[in-house]
Amino acid sequence: MKKIMRSNPKFMPKPVGHYSHVTRVPKGAELVVTSGQVGTGIDGSIPSEFNSQVTNTFLNMKKLLDSESLSEENVIKVNIWATEEIDWDHLYDEWNWLFESDYPSMTIAYVQALGLPELKIEIELWCAEF
């Protein structure tokens, strides 16, 4: 069976977070890309507090993965954009809830603004499925 392979080459510095330097997707996999998920509640409300938006964003990502019959094993790349400093303890609590051991590759950037002025975090998922 084909499998997504994740690695951190020995000659590279250890990742500074919970991610893999390299994620290799075998030939024949279907690519599934999501729009950026944000911290809205099910009713469309947007909490003003950053960590509440982070929690909602991860809940929304999990629901989206479930809707496509995907799991954390299918996620190959995560792009995170934030408008304010990330509370890493809180983000990693949510991260480890979703990604128990199969850490995807990751990019994080701080930006001035997202699509709506009240949004503070947005996370996009790239997935592969066989």
Q: Do 112 and 83 contact (CB within 8 A), yes or no?
A: yes
What is the per-residue pLDDT for 38?
98
Taking each continuous run of H as one helix and of E as one strand, the counts in the chain are: 2, 7
What is the per-residue pLDDT for 121?
98
Lookup result for tokens 């000659």? 11
What is the per-residue pLDDT for 1?
67
**Residues 49, 98: Cα–Cα separation, whole Å:** 21
What is the per-residue pLDDT for 21?
94
Calculated CA dihedral for residues 115, 91, 37, 20, nearest 10 degrees: 110
Q: What topology is assigned to 36-129 in CATH?
A: 60s Ribosomal Protein L30; Chain: A; (3.30.1330)
Residues of the chain with pLDDT under 50: none
Lookup result for tokens 């994740």? 6
**Residues 21, 35: Cα–Cα separation, whole Å:** 23
What is the per-residue pLDDT for 100?
84
What is the per-residue pLDDT for 62?
96
Pair type for strands 75-82 and 105-110: parallel
